[in-house]
Amino acid sequence: MGRPKNSQYSETVKKQYRELMERCQVHMEQMDKELPPAREDFQELLKERGVSRRSFIKWTSAMTAALMLPPIFRPMVAKAAENFSRVPVVWLQFAECTGCSEAFLRSSYPNVDDILLDTISLEYHETLMAAAGDQAEANLAKVLTDFPGKFICIIEGAIPEGLDGKYLRIGSKGKTSIEICKEVASKAGAVIGMGSCAAFGNVPAARPNPTDAKGVYGATGIKTLNIAGCPPNAVNITGTVLHYIMFGALPSTDSLGRPLWAYGKRIHDYCERRPHYDAGEYVEEWGDSGAKKGWCLYKVGCKGPYTYANCPKVRFNDATSWPVMAGHGCIGCTEPAFWDTMAPLEKPVEDKTIGGEHTVDQIGAVLTGVAVVGVAAHAGLTAIRHRGDDNE
Ligand code: SF4
């Protein structure tokens, strides 16, 4: 069977998008009926915080493209943003440092993503809620009763499995993190692992891992959509929740549960230092002339070639910068076991199976190998030219 002709292909794609749009409209109408009204008038809030209509429209275009949707979905993204505060969220915290919550909260000036996250309907968050003790537990029980199958459960932190989970007990009844996780996640409409600890165990699971900590799936068998990172980028949680509001389902993921729209490519594929990598221009040691010229950090341990994430695109701190831009290589924090295998090495990793999905990584490794041949040739030429310079 041959490939469909171009016109057939575009008709098929158009049909798929029409169906997707219908699904989106049906879901959002249903949501209108089932969920409490929006807590805030989002457009008013944008005005109050100095975000113009024009900036909001620009943001909807960027977010629609980031979610890999065509422009006809822009009005739906805008509508989903206006409904952001209607979806109840339960945020559980287990073995973690609260860095993911910090990443979610911190901003120096408001942009649309920050304002959205400010409006999120957090029904339970141990660090942020005013309630404590029995009252906090009553709040949690009320969400499970009032919104079964409708709320999003966000989990931050790894789960210690050692001693039957007794390394981590929370609340007046002393429930283990395993018990709480199973009870809440079983009633949620969607479960999101926020950060690499919830996704893969990360720092709490680093060698020697005395509490036998694991990611949520590893410890409980509950599948999570993983917003990996240490910490993860707040933009990635915003986009994922918007997708859920629009379609009533979480976005497609890779085999590690990370949404493809945010983690579908390697850091190395987006990196602004990539032309230097291709040209064989490397920082050889910290502070050398290559470092001053902003050359590639591969030889001083950048793990961008093994790491899947959109950091160079969305950046951090109100999109001002990201680690490689600031002068330090990527430490691979969106990958499983990065703390043991990648972060401490200030040199390229030798084990090419390390990092994300092996198939894609192997392709990456091959690509790296191909580039290295070119790079070596270029580096040789550069060295000859520099020798020539020295001799002048
Ligand atoms: S190795 Fe690191 S610094 Fe170099 S291009 Fe790749 S991601 Fe950028």
Q: What is the pLDDT of residue 374?
A: 33
Atom of ligand 1 nearest to the CA of 272: 8
Q: What is the pLDDT of residue 106?
A: 65
What pTM was computed for the model? Answer: 0.84
How large is the average pLDDT for residues 324-344?
Answer: 94
Inside any domain, residue 62: yes
Same domain, 297 and 351: yes
Between the CA of 360 and the centroid of ligand 1 the distance, in Å, is: 17
Inside any domain, residue 44: yes
Atom of ligand 1 nearest to the CA of 274: 5
Q: How confident is the model at residue 331 (pLDDT cuts 50, 70, 90)?
A: very high
Cα-flanking dihedrals φ and ψ of residue 333, to 5°?
-70, -5
Inside any domain, residue 332: yes
Indicate if the pLDDT at residue 160 is higher than 90.
yes
Give 10: exposed, middle or buried? Use CB within 10 Å, 0-12, 13-18, 19+: exposed
How many residues appear in the chain?
Answer: 392
Q: What is the pLDDT of residue 356?
A: 40
Atom of ligand 1 nearest to the CA of 305: 6
Indicate if the pLDDT at residue 358 is higher than 50.
no
Q: What is the pLDDT of residue 351?
A: 62
Contacts of 193 (CB under 8 A, 6+ apart): 155, 199, 215, 216, 217, 224, 225, 226, 227, 228, 257
Same domain, 32 and 135: yes
How large is the average pLDDT for residues 147-152?
Answer: 93
Inside any domain, residue 75: yes
Among 219, 239, 262, the domain-final residue is 262
Q: Do 211 and 204 touch, CB atoms closer than 8 A?
A: yes
The percentage of residues in the chain with a pLDDT greater than 70, rounded to a whole number, is 86
Domain that holds residue 346: 267-391
Segment holding 137, helix H or strand E: helix 133-146
Q: Which of 272, 286, 324 to mutate to test the pocket of ligand 1 (most atoms within 8 A of CB)?
A: 324
Between the CA of 114 and the centroid of ligand 1 the distance, in Å, is: 28
Of all protein residues, whose CA lies closest to atom 6 belonging to ligand 1?
A: 268
* Closest by Cα among 291, 309, 312, 302 to 349: 302
Q: How confident is the model at residue 174 (pLDDT cuts 50, 70, 90)?
A: very high
Q: What is the CATH number of the domain that holds 273?
A: 4.10.480.10
Q: Do 304 and 271 touch, CB atoms closer than 8 A?
A: yes
Q: How confident is the model at residue 166 (pLDDT cuts 50, 70, 90)?
A: very high
The whole-chain average pLDDT of the chain stands at: 85
Inside any domain, residue 1: no
Q: How confident is the model at residue 321 (pLDDT cuts 50, 70, 90)?
A: very high
Of all protein residues, whose CA lies closest to atom 5 belonging to ligand 1?
A: 274
Indicate if the pLDDT at residue 58 is higher than 60.
yes
Of all protein residues, whose CA lies closest to atom 1 belonging to ligand 1?
A: 298
Q: Provide DSSP, 186-218.
A: TT-SEEEEESHHHHH-TGGGSTT-TT-EE-HHH
Cis peptide leading into residue 231 (ω within 30°) = yes
- Report the number of distinct structural domains present in the chain: 2
Listed range (74-78, 171-175, 224-228, 274-278) with the worst mean pLDDT: 171-175
Contacts of 144 (CB under 8 A, 6+ apart): 183, 184, 187
Same domain, 211 and 272: no
More reliable by pLDDT, 229 or 40: 229
Whether ligand 1 lies within 6 angstroms of the CB of 296 is answered as: yes
Same domain, 90 and 180: yes
Indicate if the pLDDT at residue 361 is higher than 60.
no
Indicate if the pLDDT at residue 376 is higher than 50.
no
Indicate if the pLDDT at residue 367 is higher than 60.
no
Same domain, 242 and 287: no
Q: What is the pLDDT of residue 354?
A: 54
Indicate if the pLDDT at residue 365 is higher than 70.
no
Whether ligand 1 lies within 6 angstroms of the CB of 303 is answered as: no
Same domain, 89 and 116: yes
Q: What is the pLDDT of residue 3?
A: 59
Q: Which of 265, 266, 267 to mutate to test the pocket of ligand 1 (most atoms within 8 A of CB)?
A: 267
- Angle at the Cα of 387 (from 386 to 388), degrees rounded to 5? 85
Inside any domain, residue 298: yes
pLDDT tens per residue across span 111-126: 677 777 777 777 888 8
Same domain, 135 and 184: yes
Atom of ligand 1 nearest to the CA of 324: 3
Same domain, 200 and 319: no
Whether ligand 1 lies within 6 angstroms of the CB of 322 is answered as: no
Listed range (306-315, 350-359, 380-389) with the worst mean pLDDT: 380-389
Between the CA of 302 and the centroid of ligand 1 the distance, in Å, is: 6
Q: How confident is the model at residue 371 (pLDDT cuts 50, 70, 90)?
A: very low
Among 262, 278, 295, the domain-final residue is 262
Same domain, 287 and 216: no
Among 209, 244, 262, the domain-final residue is 262
pLDDT tens per residue across span 195-206: 999 999 999 999
Same domain, 206 and 351: no
* Closest by Cα among 234, 214, 233 to 224: 214
Atom of ligand 1 nearest to the CA of 304: 7
Q: Do 303 and 342 touch, CB atoms closer than 8 A?
A: yes
Same domain, 208 and 286: no
Q: Do 115 and 46 touch, CB atoms closer than 8 A?
A: yes
Whether ligand 1 lies within 6 angstroms of the CB of 324 is answered as: yes
Atom of ligand 1 nearest to the CA of 276: 5
How large is the average pLDDT for residues 44-66?
Answer: 89
Whether ligand 1 lies within 6 angstroms of the CB of 330 is answered as: yes
Cα-flanking dihedrals φ and ψ of residue 93, to 5°?
-125, 125
Inside any domain, residue 57: yes
CA distance 11 to 19: 12
Same domain, 230 and 334: no
Indicate if the pLDDT at residue 217 is higher than 70.
yes
Identity of the amino acid at 214: K
Inside any domain, residue 144: yes
Q: What is the CATH number of the domain that holds 34?
A: 3.40.50.700
Atom of ligand 1 nearest to the CA of 296: 4
Q: Which of 277, 307, 322 to mutate to test the pocket of ligand 1 (most atoms within 8 A of CB)?
A: 277
